[in-house]
Amino acid sequence: MNIMKNIKDFTVNNDDLKKMSITDFYKDQEIFITGGSGFIGKALIEKLLRSFPNFKKMYILLRSKKDKTADERLQELLDNSIFQRARDEQPESFKKIHAIAGDCRELGLSISSEHLVNDYKNKLPVLVYRVAMVVSSVDEPVPGWLDNLNGPFGLFLSASLGLTRTALISPHSKMNYIPCDATVHGLIISAYAVVSDASFANNSKDSVVVLNSCYSNENLIPLWKILRDGKKLAEENPSENMVWLPDGRVTGSFPEYFIRFLFGQLALAILLDVIVRLKTGKPL
């Protein structure tokens, strides 16, 4: 299937740009998404299904795994509970999603009828959208949604359970986090903004647009404040899986970190493991 068969006709009139809303832009569009089974991919697909249901078709690139075809993997993806809100609000949009068997790791995505972006450099709008460290959602699809423990949340969860007592990082470090729903909103708007650029409409843009989605330095929160507030939340809402009270600290000094790790984390872990073994005969 040639998913770019009409790309040579993708032109925008300057007068139309002034009237076009984001909803108008995505109406009757054919959307091709790679990485749809990932964290951001799921959030992007969900937002498009729910907020822009007038798209024409959506193609999701998925590689076959073990005994599952791309179509079976797509169905498994859409059965995820994160799509329930979109299914309730826009059930018809799910009928327009199609799986394309391919692999991002292979040259040409392993799609038999692919076209290289370079072949359409004067007609195809190209955008590089770079984001900061993506964390859980604020509002959409649901508040606090996260489907993995990559990045800072793995560390925060471990600390909230009392497992991680120290880490080698300056408490004054300012990390640039951005919620996944803000990331998706920015991506959707950016695609519209690039095409709405008059230079693209006039086929005069030769360079690739690069956008950075992140907070400004003035709005960054130091790590010690995040840990302080996180510790308070963990104490107010303790997990039933907590093995020790959340405590400890991070430090940028390796000698201090090593001492804290040795006596405050490793020794504690060994002690807990011995106690559990004596009581249950099994390791912690």
Strand partners, 222: 174
Task: Supply the pLDDT for residue 135.
Answer: 87
Task: Supply the pLDDT for residue 115.
Answer: 47
Are the beta carbons of 48 and 188 closer than 8 angstroms?
yes
Residues shown for the chain: 284
Neighbour order of strands in the sheet with 30-33: 30-33, 57-62, 97-101
* Per-residue confidence in pLDDT tens, the chain, 284 aa: 333 333 334 455 555 555 678 888 888 988 888 888 889 999 999 999 999 999 999 999 888 887 888 888 999 999 999 999 999 999 999 999 998 887 656 555 555 464 445 555 566 667 788 888 888 898 988 888 888 888 788 888 888 888 888 889 898 988 888 888 999 999 898 888 877 765 555 555 566 778 888 887 777 888 888 888 888 888 888 888 887 788 878 889 999 999 988 988 888 888 888 888 888 877 66
Task: Supply the pLDDT for residue 120.
Answer: 53
Task: Supply the pLDDT for residue 54.
Answer: 92
Task: Supply the pLDDT for residue 204.
Answer: 53
Q: What's the pTM value of the predicted model, to 2 decimals?
A: 0.76
- Domain positions in the chain: 18-111, 152-172+221-280
